């Protein structure tokens, strides 16, 4: 039973890391799009 609990904890940690990485990536992409929008607005006469 101990190894079952240990593997479960490891799986949960890996899942949390994957979720945080995905959230950071989407946040980064949204920031990039916002910055590009701001740059486009600055280029307008």
Tell me the C-alpha distance between 45 and 36, whole Å.
16
Residue 36 belongs to what domain range?
Answer: 1-45
Domain total in the chain: 1
Residues of the chain with pLDDT under 70: 41-45
The string of DSSP codes covering 16-39 is: HHHHHHHHHHHHHHHHHHHHHHHH
Q: Residue 41: what pLDDT?
A: 66
> Residue 42: its pLDDT value, please?
64
Q: How far apart are CA 36 and CA 29, in angstroms?
A: 10
């Amino acid at each position: 039973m101990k190894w079952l609990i240990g593997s479960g904890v490891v799986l949960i940690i890996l899942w949390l890391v994957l979720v945080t990485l995905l959230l950071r990536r989407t946040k980064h992409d949204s920031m990039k799009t916002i910055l590009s929008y701001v740059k486009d607005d600055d280029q307008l006469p």
